Chain A
Amino acid sequence: MDDLVIGGHKFSSRLIIGTGGAANLEVLERSLLASGTQLTTVALRRADAEGGSGVLELVRRLDIELLPNTAGCRTAAEAVLTAQLAREALDTDLVKLEVHADDRTLLPDPLETLEAAERLVADGFTVFAYTNDDPVLALRLEEAGCAAVMPLGAPIGTGLGIRNPHNIELIVARASVPVVLDAGIGTASDAALAMELGCDAVLLSTAVTRAADPERMASAMRSAVEAGYLARGAGRVPQRFWAQASSPPR
């Protein structure tokens, strides 16, 4: 596979793993290693007296780059402050911008997301924008200066796969920044499909961290992303209505 380059940061893996939902740090470590990921998300929360949860030390020890998110933010102002705090705490200008409209769907709020993106880009951030599978909004986020657009396949944590593959293809067809399929992945075939549709990478958490065997699923996702990437590059055969013999006629 060619390297994935986002905002000048280079990754040989096209699978981005979120750390949310892992039962414990030992399972998370084995899953991260099996996935081969070089970029992983963390959230920012109030520190207790003992300090962090240990996830920061783990990710740094594994030499994986951090992608802090703004999960839990409802407004552009909250997301901008959270990103600034993440930059200060973690010494990175990368941010996964997510502004959720409500707790039940966790769908991105398009207006707040776009406003936050404009402000974060102006403040020097490398913005990975979590967005609806809306080809118009994806372009607007790109024009705002986002380094990557990350359309959802389905709502966060649902494992429903890619509900509107054609929209993902439309986003890919017009994007000139990397497209990362984010959210909704349930199993390996979903990740492979994302890559076959032309996405540059896949971001997932729940599908691995809440699988019965997270380490094994991480390995499956790694293979799926590689397989989908190769298939996209190889160029699939056209779909046909009638059979076409693959053996010579008598």
Chain B
Amino acid sequence: MELKINGQWQEFPDGSTVSEVLDAVGATRQGVAVAVNGEVVRRGDWAASVVPKGASIDVLTAVQGG
């Protein structure tokens, strides 16, 4: 299935969880947060949360600012 990760479409196996998607893109686990289709997925739910087909996933972290 195709998923949009931080604005880029990428191919993932059907039924991938948030954890599997993070592993596949090499995202760090510390200090990041994940939203799927504009809804926060809590850290504790990453392993069990299956990403729907065509979903938009944002992986965010802290940067210098304001």
Contacts and interface: CB of A to CB of B under 8 A. Distances in A.
B27 A56 contact: no
A237 interface: no
- Interface residues of A, dominant DSSP: mixed
Contacts, number: 105
Interface in A97-140: 98
A56 B6 contact: no
Interface residues of B, number: 25
A238 interface: no
A66 B62 contact: yes
A52 B43 CA distance: 17
Contacts of B59: 46-47
Contacts of B58: 46, 85
29 contacts: A20-B64, A22-B64, A42-B63, A42-B65, A46-B6, A46-B58, A46-B61, A47-B28, A47-B59, A47-B60, A51-B30, A51-B31, A52-B28, A52-B32, A52-B62, A55-B64, A68-B62, A69-B65, A81-B40, A85-B35, A85-B40, A85-B60, A88-B33, A88-B40, A89-B32, A89-B62, A96-B66, A156-B66, A205-B66
Interface of A: 18-22, 28, 41-47, 49-53, 55-56, 66, 68-69, 71, 81, 84-90, 96, 98, 156, 205
* The 3 nearest A-B residue pairs measured at CB: A43-B65, A51-B28, A89-B33
